[in-house]
């Protein structure tokens, strides 16, 4: 077993410790428990790509101490910092023969459709739109400005999204669910499964010890097999109910949009050995159902000092149980 000297943490505001004093953040609390010097590379508002960039810069510039480092990587939100033009969320039938029903906006702009009318709201078609466009010949000039179905700016994070900051519904009043939202979600989860597992395999190949944990959404924890880390049984039940697809006795606006437990890309998350992931908790849920504007939960989305203690304790238990520390 390696003798670690540094705890390197990377993530978004959850790991940065927004709203807390430096000494109150979970990286520093966990570092004290483990007797390690903390290097916190987290930045508020950042996504997975910022995590990758910060991590690679650290690795490239600190190779002499890498064997003394243990890394904690916190995945942020479902929709954060994604370039949707490059992700396969646009419905098309061009490659449907090979069971590929979604391409990126860039790809669709080049390849078009075999039967374009199937995937558009014809009542929204502009007057200048040609009735029979010559697809595969500069089709992007037609679909780019009026890509009503395919242009999904944001995915709702969970059943309590959307909110005023993240408008994702379509229609003039933003009150229409995109018709392919569930399949688009599957493609987005495939994207994240690939990014997360690829970075994990790269670190493993370098023999860099690390663990990955979900901050705000179920990725590694997509099966929703949560452990009861909570103070009360009611709190634990609320967490399970929050992420479930249960519709019985639930207001229609409060129903889970996605079925995380049955994502097609689950096999990729499963390929990550349990030693390298925390798959039984979402850090946000540890304090989400505690009273807001308190030491537990400062604003609904960020842990206060007591919430940070909870996170540090849960991560400490996982690191010990997985055999990283004695």
> CB-based contacts of 278: which residues, under 8 Å, 6+ apart?
211, 212, 213, 214, 220, 221, 314, 315, 318
* % of the chain at pLDDT higher than 70: 81
pLDDT digits (tens, 9 = 90+) for 88-105: 988 888 899 999 999 888
Q: Residue 179's pLDDT is what?
A: 76
Three-class SS state of 249 = coil
Q: Which two tokens stand for residue 18?
A: 């927004």
> What confidence tens digit (pLDDT) does each residue in 282-302 have?
999 999 999 999 999 999 889
- Closest C-alpha among 118, 119, 114, 182 to residue 149: 119
Task: List the one residue out of 208, 228, 193 whose CA is nearest residue 324.
Answer: 208
Q: What does residue 303 show for φ and ψ, rounded to 5 degrees? A: -75, 140
Lowest mean pLDDT among 177-181, 204-208, 322-326: 177-181
Q: Where are the domains of the chain?
A: 6-81+189-321
Name 243's bridge partners. none
Among 59-68, 156-165, 181-190, the range scoring the smallest mean pLDDT is: 156-165
Query: Which residue intervals of 21-145 are DSSP H helices?
Result: 26-34, 48-61, 105-111, 140-143
Query: How much is the pLDDT for 130?
Result: 54
Which are the contacts of 300, defined by CB distance < 8 A and separation ≥ 6?
288, 292
- Residue 142 pLDDT greater than 90, yes or no: no
Q: Which fold has domain 6-81+189-321?
A: Rossmann fold (3.40.50)
Mean residue pLDDT across the chain: 86
Higher-pLDDT residue of 121 and 145 is 121
Confidence at residue 136, expressed as pLDDT on a 0 to 100 scale: 41
In this prediction, residue 242 carries a pLDDT of 87
Task: Count other C-beta atoms under 10 Å from residue 171's C-beta.
Answer: 12
Contact present, 111 and 117 (Cβ < 8 Å): no
The C-alpha angle 208, 211, 215, rounded to 5 degrees, equals 140
**Which of the residue ranges 38-42, 152-156, 192-196 would you say has the lowest mean pLDDT?**
152-156
Asked if pLDDT for residue 144 goes beyond 50, the answer is no
Distance separating alpha carbons of residues 183 and 235, to the nearest angstrom: 31
Per the structure block, which two tokens stand in for 23? 């000494």
| Confidence (pTM) | 0.89
Q: What pLDDT, on the 0 to 100 scale, is given for residue 251?
A: 66
CB 42 within 8 A of CB 74: yes
pLDDT tens across 12-60, in order?
999 999 999 999 999 999 999 999 999 999 999 999 999 999 999 999 9
Confidence at residue 63, expressed as pLDDT on a 0 to 100 scale: 97
Higher pLDDT, 170 or 226: 226
* Residue 14 burial (C-beta neighbours within 10 Å; 0-12, 13-18, 19+): buried
């Amino acid at each position: 077993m390696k003798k670690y000297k540094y705890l390197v943490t990377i993530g978004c505001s959850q790991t940065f410790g927004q709203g807390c004093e430096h000494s109150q953040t979970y990286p520093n609390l966990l570092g004290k428990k483990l007797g390690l010097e903390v290097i916190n590379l987290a930045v508020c508002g950042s996504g997975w790509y910022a995590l990758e960039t910060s991590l690679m810069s650290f690795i490239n510039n600190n190779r002499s101490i890498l064997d003394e480092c243990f890394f904690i990587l916190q995945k942020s939100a479902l929709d954060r910092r994604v370039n949707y033009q490059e992700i396969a969320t646009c419905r098309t039938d061009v490659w449907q023969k090979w069971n590929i029903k979604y391409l990126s906006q860039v790809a669709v702009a080049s390849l078009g459709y075999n039967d374009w009318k199937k995937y558009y709201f014809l009542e929204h078609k502009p007057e200048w739109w040609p009735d029979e466009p010559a697809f595969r010949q500069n089709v992007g000039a037609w679909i780019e400005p009026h890509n009503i179905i395919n242009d999904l700016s944001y995915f709702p994070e969970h059943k309590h999204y959307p909110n005023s900051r993240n408008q994702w519904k379509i229609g003039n009043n933003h009150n229409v669910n995109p018709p392919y939202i569930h399949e688009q979600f599957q493609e987005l989860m495939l994207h994240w499964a690939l990014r997360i597992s690829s970075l994990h395999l790269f670190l493993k190949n370098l023999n860099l010890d690390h663990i990955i944990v979900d901050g705000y959404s179920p990725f590694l924890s997509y099966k929703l097999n949560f452990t009861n880390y909570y103070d009360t049984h009611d709190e634990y039940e609320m967490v399970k109910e929050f992420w479930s697809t249960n519709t019985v006795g639930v207001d229609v606006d409060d129903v889970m949009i996605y079925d995380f437990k049955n994502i097609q890309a689950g096999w990729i998350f499963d390929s990550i050995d349990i030693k390298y992931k925390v798959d039984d908790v979402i850090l946000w849920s540890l304090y989400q159902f505690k009273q807001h504007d308190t030491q537990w939960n400062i604003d609904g989305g960020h842990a206060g000092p007591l919430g940070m203690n909870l996170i540090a304790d849960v991560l400490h238990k996982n690191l010990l149980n997985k055999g990283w520390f004695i």
